[in-house]
């Protein structure tokens, strides 16, 4: 099987030009087939504020009404995506910027209204890995903004971590996939005030233990839930690391980031 590296970049890296440049340089140095999925929430919030559009967050998740959908479409699919593509081109990486609507790559459905109405937020239904594979065969590097679409033709704001996991799972049918989540921390931390307190390895059992003791909490939980689901569905390995360490982590650097494994792989 072909090796495929799928990397999701988020956190404070996207809105820091120097940090983003370092990451993209490192990403560009990774050999072989690769895909990049990016966030950009802080920039979307800043742009919305300039336009006089209020941002509402519930438990860290953005409420996406029609004005906010317009903002995230402009920011994610336009400003952030095309800046990343342009920088990759300057590094000699032939990249193609995409949303899930482009070439029917990622389709979703609008999240049903429950206790909270998240608005135009998409839950992924289908990944067209054949089309993504076509881009890769043309030696293009797909760069996905966290936007999908539904059958009615509406764009939907979609969690970038979930999008990365879904693409990884579907492409794992044809490839040996490594999924990497990177941001401004060195991995999953046992002490959020100490950047050196990296948990080097997590299994479902140790993850459950850390959660029960409150060591792993808040926004890290949905990221790790997505990561373990990806492993269960065929992704070879998942790594969480600092954006500056992405090439080292992908190339098997010892002690870099947090490596997630299923229980049976630990024996």
Binding residues for substrate: 40-41, 62, 157
DSSP of 197-212:
-B--EE-HHHHHHHHH
The Cα-based distances of 220 to 192, 229, 259 in angstroms read: 11, 14, 14
Instruction: Point out the annotated binding site.
Output: 40-41, 62, 157
**Which string of b and e fits 165-194 if b means at least 16 CB within 10 Å?**
bbbbbbbbeebebbbbbbbebbbbbeeeee
170 CB contacts (<8 Å, ≥6 apart)? 127, 129, 132
**DSSP strand pairing (147-149 vs 155-157):** antiparallel
Q: Is the dihedral of CA 131, 237, 122, 125 positive or negative?
A: positive
Residue where the block lists tokens 């459905």: 109
Spatial contact of 91 and 20, defined as CB atoms under 8 Å apart: no
40-66 burial string, b = 16+ CB within 10 Å, else e? bbebbbebbeeeeeeeeeeeebbbbbe
Coil, strand or helix at 37: strand
How distant is the alpha carbon of residue 78 from its chain centre? 17
Residue with tokens 């956190």: 11
């Amino acid at each position: 099987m072909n090796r495929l590296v799928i990397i999701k970049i988020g956190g404070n890296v996207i809105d820091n030009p120097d940090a983003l440049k370092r990451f993209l340089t490192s990403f560009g140095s990774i050999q072989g087939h690769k895909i990049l999925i990016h966030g950009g929430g802080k920039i979307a919030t800043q742009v919305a504020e300039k336009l006089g559009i209020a941002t509402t967050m519930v438990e860290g998740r953005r409420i996406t009404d029609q004005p906010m959908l317009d903002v995230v479409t402009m920011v994610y699919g336009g400003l952030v995506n095309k800046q990343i593509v342009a920088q990759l081109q300057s590094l000699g990486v032939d990249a193609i910027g995409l949303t899930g609507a482009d070439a029917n790559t990622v389709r979703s459905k609008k999240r049903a209204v429950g206790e909270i109405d998240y608005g135009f937020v998409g839950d992924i239904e289908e990944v067209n890995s054949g089309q993504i594979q076509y881009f890769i065969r043309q030696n293009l590097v797909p760069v996905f903004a966290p936007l999908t679409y539904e059958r009615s033709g509406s764009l939907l704001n979609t969690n970038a971590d979930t999008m990365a996991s879904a693409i990884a799972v579907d492409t794992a049918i044809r490839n040996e996939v490594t999924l990497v989540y990177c941001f401004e921390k060195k991995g999953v931390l046992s002490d959020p005030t100490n950047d050196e307190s990296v948990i080097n390895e997590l299994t479902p059992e140790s993850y459950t233990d850390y959660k029960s003791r409150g060591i792993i909490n808040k926004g890290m939980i949905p990221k790790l839930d997505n990561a373990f689901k990806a492993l269960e569905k065929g992704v070879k390995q998942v790594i969480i690391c600092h954006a500056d360490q992405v090439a080292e982590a992908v190339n098997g650097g010892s002690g870099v980031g947090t490596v997630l494994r299923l229980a049976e792989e630990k024996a």
